[in-house]
A = this chain, B = another copy of it.
Amino acid sequence: MYNMTIRLQQNSDKCLYEQIYEHIRHEIWEGKLLAGERLPSTRSLAGDLQVARSTVDYAYEQLLSEGYIEAKPCKGYFVCPMEELLQLEPDVVEKDDTQDSQQGMTLAKETVSVPDYNFAPHGIDMSAFPFSVWRRIHKTILNNGNEELWARGDAQGDYDLRVTISRYLHSSRGVNCAPEQIVVGAGNDYLLMLLEKILGRHVGIAMENPTYMRTWRIFRSFAYNVITVPMDESGMMVTALDKTEARVAYVMPSHQFPTGTVMPIGRRTELLRWANKDENRYLIEDDYDSEFRYRGKPIPSLQSLDENGKVIYIGTFSKAIAPAIRISYMVLPQPLLEVYRRDCYFYSCTVSRIDQGVLNEFIRDGYFERHLNKMRKLYRTKHDLLLQELVPFAKKFNVSGEHGGLHLLLTAKGNVSERELVDKAEAVGVRVYRLSDSCVEEIPHRRATVLLGFGALAEQEIQEGIQKLKEAWL
């Protein structure tokens, strides 16, 4: 039998049983203790090592539970067969693991040159956010929150929050829905993943060109057949849509990204009519920034016109509150709600219940409405300022996409490429964005167009940035 000599360190940070356990495990790994070999009895080993028998018992326990050794009744402890262990040859070794992980590092930490003036279309202004209110609600909820708050919540999101959202949607967007139709999730991307499970696989889905490329990529990552449909000044051309295999159409009727088109009522009804032709057809209405209209009342949602449960309405709080608030929601029409309940009930909600609670109070107690009004004013001021600053560009550019959202479009009248415009701007420390970045496929004979987002910039920055663009472009 194997004679075990273990040098135990009394003043090691590892307790004795651990040292014994690790020694034996090491011997097994090293092949010094071979499969089938018998270990000394706990009593004898305890004697040899001058330790309490329970210490050895404990070490053996651990080796047993990890499967290094086995106990045979009335026979003792034996080393388990380990040949697999030793045969573990690296068949498929990652060639240069460290280097890859280095690349990973750089990739993750990569920093792109930061422009002085970044007209990012998705930038928003957090300066006016009522942090104090948000904090206070947070605090009260954490203080008063019963244990229930920490338990797994409703898969669709807490009922109270859904009631609040449905009320808000009804009053502000004309959306008609019961709280039961609402599914709360951590961001649109997640909700679309869920929608994939509801709508099923191999769905033909129509998108406008240009469109919101993030969503396009997500649909592409599904087993979807993504069909791009041309758009005119009213949005997606239903005549073209009709000729496709699509059974779902994704649109942003209140404010199409990137063109800023507001879909007229006529086109909306055309779309609904298209959807009504087949019971498997649906419309996804992405109402991402409808809160921000600077003329008249907000455009009522497409869902508010829907009488036959054809519209899947998706909204987010990322724009109106903060991108870090990962809370979006979708309103499922009755038929799809039933599919969700049947096939997706086991996906637990992705939003922490604390955040749900905070948002619920924030909306219910009117802070959201007040915040929106403040932001609308704030963005309108920036919007109007930008428009005014762009007047001198009128000779060489057309402005479009105004009166809503957080960006404008500038289309060159002359022959210039978007690349040129962007490079010239970059040269003077201004970043603008090419329309072609939002094009699934290039649109023939279209003029160079760039996007100017004003959400995140201060008024002075807008003025200075445009001043620089003047120098660069005019």
Contact = CB atoms under 8 A, between A and B. Distances in A.
Q: How many of these chains are in the complex?
A: 2
Interface stretch (A266-274, A388-396, A408-416, A457-465): A266-274
A89 to B, nearest CB: 8
A346 B189 CA distance: 9
Interface string A133-173: 01100110011000101111110100100000000000000
A324 B151 contact: yes
A323 interface: yes
A97 interface: yes
Contacts of A138: 138-139, 142
A36 B93 CA distance: 73
A300 to B, nearest CB: 7
A129 to B, nearest CB: 7
Interface string A282-325: 00000000000001110110000001110000000010001111
A265 interface: yes
Contacts of A139: 135, 138-139
A242 B96 CA distance: 29
Nearest to A326: B352
A225 B218 CA distance: 23
Contacts of A150: 126, 129, 322-325
A67 B264 contact: yes
Given A90-B308, A277-B91, A334-B97, A223 B221 contact: no
A100 B89 CA distance: 60
B101 A180 contact: yes
B189 A88 contact: no
A81 B267 CA distance: 10
A197 interface: yes
A349 interface: yes
A179 B334 CA distance: 43
Interface in A310-363: 318, 322-326, 333-335, 337-338, 341, 343-344, 346-355
A253 B108 CA distance: 31
A346 B218 contact: yes
Nearest to A306: B88
B143 A296 contact: no
A187 interface: yes
A380 interface: no
A334 B66 contact: no
Contacts of A295: 61-62, 65
Contacts of A105: 178, 180
A154 B107 CA distance: 12
Among A62, A84, A197, residue most surrounded by chain B Cβ atoms (within 10 Å): A84
Nearest to A341: B107
A135 B143 contact: yes
A472 interface: no
A353 B318 CA distance: 12
A471 interface: no
B84 A269 contact: yes
B299 A88 contact: no
Contacts of A343: 221
Contact of A82 (B147, B266, B279, B337): B266
A92 interface: yes
Contact of A81 (B82, B107, B266, B276): B266
Interface string A173-200: 0000011110000110110010001000
Contacts of A217: 346
A104 B324 contact: no
A94 interface: yes
A400 interface: no
10 A-B pairs closest in CB distance: A67-B264, A104-B180, A186-B350, A62-B296, A152-B323, A150-B322, A84-B269, A67-B265, A324-B353, A92-B279
Given A65-B296, A129-B150, A325-B352, 6 more contacts: A67-B263, A82-B269, A87-B273, A135-B139, A186-B186, A350-B350
7 contacts: A21-B296, A80-B265, A89-B276, A90-B276, A104-B180, A152-B318, A152-B323
